[in-house]
A and B are shown apart, each in its own frame.
Chain A
Amino acid sequence: DAGITQSPRYKITETGRQVTLMCHQTWSHSYMFWYRQDLGHGLRLIYYSAAADITDKGEVSDGYVVSRSKTENFPLTLESATRSQTSVYFCASTKGGLAYEQYFGPGTRLTVT
């Protein structure tokens, strides 16, 4: 079982370029999330989605765009990459409800030069 996958695993891009990070889950989980991990900040929520075509901003959403046309996919786009967006990005999903934890993908390490 594939679970939750992210691609690419590593990406180097230049300032000002658009870049899309992909996330795919095979569990048919309703909820999906994007986080970034930075030293001293832990994991911060960028965007989340409760279902296909339903998305909402997290605490650090500026400069990012998401879409969710299918339940299993939740791509994250950096419209015009900046150096401050250099980070490790994690996608997660959950079935929802009190006792259900979030499951995380392996992460994408993005470097903006």
Chain B
Amino acid sequence: DQQVKQNSPSLSVQEGRISILNCDYTNSMFDYFLWYKKYPAEGPTFLISISSIKDKNEDGRFTVFLNKSAKHLSLHIVPSQPGDSAVYFCAARRPGNEKLTFGTGTRLTIIP
């Protein structure tokens, strides 16, 4: 039972354009959501997060949007840069629980 889903295994975007990565979840108990970025042969690194009490969180070129009614979150990267090429994982957490449930990941390729 995949509670966190990333339905696009891969995405290619032109440098300078907007990259939009999507994530859906099924468990309405999740109250905190995170995005991680992973380069080959490295561990995932934290990118940005959002609490369920918000619908948007911004950090520089990265913005995460949360639509609780649709159980959907998205990560926007503007403008996209070659260094953004990586695998992106979304993750979700339940209240009072330190465990994260991860999606399957989306490989983003930025085309110069």
Contact = CB atoms under 8 A, between A and B. Distances in A.
A15 interface: no
A42 B98 contact: no
A74 interface: no
Interface in A1-60: 4, 31, 33, 35, 40-45, 48, 50, 58
A104 B89 CA distance: 13
A45 B102 CA distance: 9
Interface size range on B against A: 20 to 34
Contact of A107 (B32, B36, B41, B91): B41
B42 A106 contact: yes
Nearest to B9: A40
Interface residues of A, number: 26
A42 B107 CA distance: 11
A90 B98 contact: no
B104 A96 contact: no
A50 B43 contact: no
Given A101-B34, A101-B49, A103-B46, A41 B98 contact: no
Nearest to A40: B104
Interface string B36-50: 100001111110010
B104 A41 contact: yes
Contacts of B63: none
Interface of A: 4, 31, 33, 35, 40-45, 48, 50, 58, 90, 92, 94, 96, 98-99, 101-107
6 contacts: A42-B89, A43-B89, A90-B44, A94-B98, A102-B46, A105-B43
